[in-house]
Amino acid sequence: MAVIPTQIGHYRIHREIGRGGMGVVHLARDTLLQRDVAIKMLPEDLASNEDRLSRFEREARLLASLNHANIAAIYGLEEVDGVRYLRARDMCRAERVCRLGRRTVGRVRFQPGRGKTR
């Protein structure tokens, strides 16, 4: 079982709010700005895989380029003490997206040049 850090930089990790093939999302507290954020980390077994790291970085760039009510805004791709993570500011939206993602997995797929289809 992977050990989840309780602190990453100035973010205090509270609990897991979602999990998928590309990472685990946690509720965290930004101790500098005193606000809740969502932190997505690669699982320990994937964190050393260069292909997965590359995909994680592409996901961060893609999500950062989107602006939609059902997509948590990404505010950073960071690394502290060897832990690579995405930071989303709107924790409530991130938690809602995690719940939505669990319900829609397998129903939405993407096709090159055509966008998403159901």
pLDDT tens sequence across 28-87 = 999 998 988 888 888 777 878 889 889 888 888 888 888 877 777 788 888 888 778 888
Q: CB within 8 A of 49, min separation 6: which ones?
A: none
Amino acid letter, 113: G
**How many alpha carbons fall within 13 Å on the CB side of residue 51?**
1
Closest to 28 (Cα-Cα) out of 17, 20, 42, 19 = 17
Distance between first and last Cα of the chain: 35
Judged against a pLDDT cut of 90, whether residue 100 lies above it is answered with: no
Q: Are 47 and 84 in contact (CB under 8 A)?
A: yes
Q: How many C-beta atoms surround the C-beta of residue 28 within 10 A?
A: 26
| pLDDT given for residue 94 in this prediction | 52
Q: Are 83 and 53 in contact (CB under 8 A)?
A: no
Band of pLDDT at residue 8, cut at 50, 70 and 90: confident
Band of pLDDT at residue 13, cut at 50, 70 and 90: very high
Query: Between 13 and 1, where is the model more confident?
Result: 13
Query: Between 90 and 48, where is the model more confident?
Result: 48
Q: Give CA–CA dist 56/87, Å, rounded.
A: 12
Judged against a pLDDT cut of 70, whether residue 105 lies above it is answered with: no
Q: CATH 3.30.565.10: does it fit domain 7-104?
A: no
| pLDDT given for residue 115 in this prediction | 52
